[in-house]
Structure 1
């Protein structure tokens, strides 16, 4: 896709978010299977649901602009997914609590990438006068930030202390 206008860039960014969500969805499911902590498993279940909701919303926005949701492949998330696999899923970590701490760290990296995408796209939508799109993207951003805060709470509340005892 040739990008000539802010609208073109906006659609490109939405497609990138959609691709990032598709990639993070699959690896988040694997993180859930790998986690030891019940709180972390529940948070990852919620994260998977949130990613799926975000994908549905972003797909609808893209299609509303007569574009293909799969028109872009997010190389940034591809790299983050490789890191998740290397440092949490396939890592040689012998203690479940230490692995949980690594899972949270890796998940939050993906969440922060998503927050950057949602925030940027929402700003573009606002500038373009796409009020409904902007509201949808702000909601996705807020939901992602909420999930990130929950992960921090689990890390600080229990997981990091338990990992320290390993």
Structure 2
């Protein structure tokens, strides 16, 4: 006669135990704030305030980047972009006027983070090619954020039939892309190699 084996007690794995102890994950939607955007027009206006703050902050931050750069081409690129950024601010003010709103800036957390990172890079690098490479990296992150933002705003303006804003956004978008390309060229023309 065959002996019956006692049933094997299985212990819960560590993963199962921790899952049992941790609170259930929330599947509910995040409640909207009282003044949350209700439609694309609201979202457009909020995004406009955000990038307006960002551009104004850049006008203040770019001279410090230029002062800390040593490469002549990089200094010239930043100097030219300071002038362009002032035009970008003016275009945004024109856009506010076109939609019948007072120009209003709302702190852009993303740009603040990028600017803080740029300051850190300057402090954490030795003056010269290494710092220049860091400045380019920080500046290109800013450019990519702006490219994404202006591309989105242009798409919103097109749907909302805001022709003046659409033109301003596409003009600025083109300039941001050219700046990004120029920074890549400056980095590629031996600057990154000097930083090795």
TM-score by length of 2: 0.79
Partner of 1:136: 168
- Which structure 2 residues correspond to residues 4-153 of structure 1 after superposition, within 5 A? 4-88=38-122, 90-91=123-124, 93-153=125-185
Task: Give the alignment's Cα RMSD to 1 decimal.
Answer: 1.3
Structure 1 distance, partners of 2:179, 2:73, is 13
Aligned residues: 162
Normalised by the length of structure 1, the TM-score is 0.92
Larger radius of gyration, structure 1 or 2? 2
* CA distance, structure 2, for counterparts of residue 70 and residue 15 of structure 1: 6
Which one has more relative contact order, counting CA pairs under 8 Å at least 6 apart?
Answer: 1
Higher helix share: 1
| Residues 24 and 110, structure 1, Cα contact 8 Å, conserved in 2 | no
Structure 2 CA distance, aligned partners of 1:10 and 1:143? 21
Structure 1 unpaired stretches of 5+: none
